[in-house]
Amino acid sequence: MRSTTSTRVPRYRLHKTWGLGVVRINGKDVYLGKYGTPESQAEYRRVVAEWLAAGGLVTPGSGPTGAATADGLTVNELVLGYLRFAKTYYVKNGRPTGEVSNIKDAVKPLVLTHGHISVADFGPIALKAVRDSMVADDLSRGVVNERVNRIRRVFKWGVENQLVPPSILHGLQAVAPLKRGRCNVRETAPVTPVPDAYVNAVIRIAPSQIAGMIELQRLTGMRPGEVVLMRTCDIDTTGQIWQYRPMEHKTQHHGRTRVVYLGPQAQAILRHHLKPNLEVVSVESFHRNLKSALGQ
């Protein structure tokens, strides 16, 4: 049997008798609050987004007294609380890490379409509506999945702090990630290594210390920050293979120890730059050489 449900986006209209915004979905009027107000227009966006996410088969709840709201915490209030927490939790060396910015990017579409509703009304269909808006913004599949996971993390924090009913998080966890080849979303090519020819061209014109840092990264797979922060006191030179333990690294908050093994080629590069003073950080001379190379 063919469905008569139309997927054409219904208009935001004025109900002249009550002065309310209204949208007609699947033959049913959904009342949105006082006509023309930002709250009413936000409710319209939410209702339409959820209806589209459900394939036009679900009619959101409504009531003639205004927008469909519930007592308790709103999504906006939950997000605000989580952002305050994130700014104190995702910190390294006294500064917020990049994760704080990632969280802000993830919650923007959530706040835009569902920020005004109660957390008790935010379920799987609502999360899929937010995800659809990300896809419409031409984000890649991997980025969309990462941002949806961050939104779930917001609600998980809410459950942990008894702000969100556990059943809400359980429903959100049922939303499966987008799968490669099974969804209409942009894919990105894998990141590949920079060709050696390009690296060699840079090394030929770079100051000796910068060239040495580039070579060390190529030989060991170190991150740039680990190369820049190298100190003599962090390198165990007693064995045939040297061991470098960075004083800071990406996974130190997990209690892990990072060890970079330095073979003969890496040792030959380092011998030109190691300082007798074990506490001298090579980054200082690196910045001096960089400024000199740039004519500053």
Residues paired with residue 281 on neighbouring β-strands, in sequence order? 231
pLDDT of res. 64: 39
93 and 169 together in one domain = yes
Q: Pick from 53, 68, 83: which residue ends a domain?
A: 68
In the block, tokens 């939790």 appear at: 89
Tell whether 190 is covered by a domain.
no
| CA-angle at 234, arms to 228 and 238, nearest 5° | 130
Terminal Cα distance for the chain, rounded? 75
Residues 262 and 217 in one domain: yes
Judge whether 47 lies within some domain.
yes
Co-location of 169 and 232 in the same domain: no
Question: Rounded to whole angstroms, how far apart are CA atoms 70 and 121?
Answer: 7
DSSP string, 153-204: HHHHHHHHTTSS-HHHHHHHHTSPPPPTTSSS-B--PPP-PPPHHHHHHHHH
Answer whether 25's CB lies under 8 Å from 61's CB: no
Dist CA 282 CA 288 (whole Å): 10
63 and 101 in a single domain? The answer is: no
Q: CB of 56 within 8 A of CB of 24?
A: no
* Cα angle, residue 19 at apex, residues 15 and 23 outer, rounded to 5°: 35
Predicted pLDDT of residue 101: 95
CA distance 59 to 24: 9
Per-residue pLDDT of the chain (296 residues; tens, 9 = 90+): 334 444 688 999 998 888 889 999 878 888 888 999 999 999 999 888 887 876 665 566 544 333 333 346 889 989 998 998 999 899 887 888 899 999 999 999 999 999 999 999 999 999 999 999 999 999 999 999 999 999 999 999 999 888 889 999 999 999 999 999 888 899 998 888 889 999 999 999 999 888 988 999 999 988 888 888 888 888 888 889 999 988 765 555 555 778 999 999 999 988 877 765 544 444 455 555 555 555 55
Quote the CA–CA distance of 269 and 187 in Å, as a whole number: 40
Phi, psi of 228 (to 5 degrees): -65, -35
Q: Are residues 37 and 90 in the same domain?
A: no
d(CA 175, CA 127): 8
70: nearest Cα among 144, 121, 107 = 121
CATH, residue 231: 3.90.15
Residue after which a domain boundary falls, among 31, 50, 68? 68
Give the model's pLDDT for residue 231.
Answer: 83
How high is the pLDDT of residue 162?
Answer: 84
278 and 205 share one domain: yes
Helix, strand, coil fractions of the chain, as percent rounded to 5: 50, 10, 40
Q: What is the pLDDT of residue 277?
A: 52
The number of distinct structural domains making up the chain is 3
Identify whether residues 93 and 167 lie together within a single domain.
yes
Residues 19 and 62 in one domain: yes
Distance separating alpha carbons of residues 189 and 205, to the nearest angstrom: 30
Last residue of a domain, one of 19, 45, 68: 68
Structural domain includes residue 273: yes
| 18 vs 295: CA distance, rounded Å | 71
Q: What CATH number corresponds to the domain at position 86?
A: 1.10.150
Q: Which domain holds residue 284?
A: 196-293
Same domain assignment for residues 52 and 104: no
Q: What is the largest CA-CA distance in the chain?
A: 87
Is 183 part of a structural domain of the chain? no
Clarify whether residues 55 and 109 are in a common domain: no
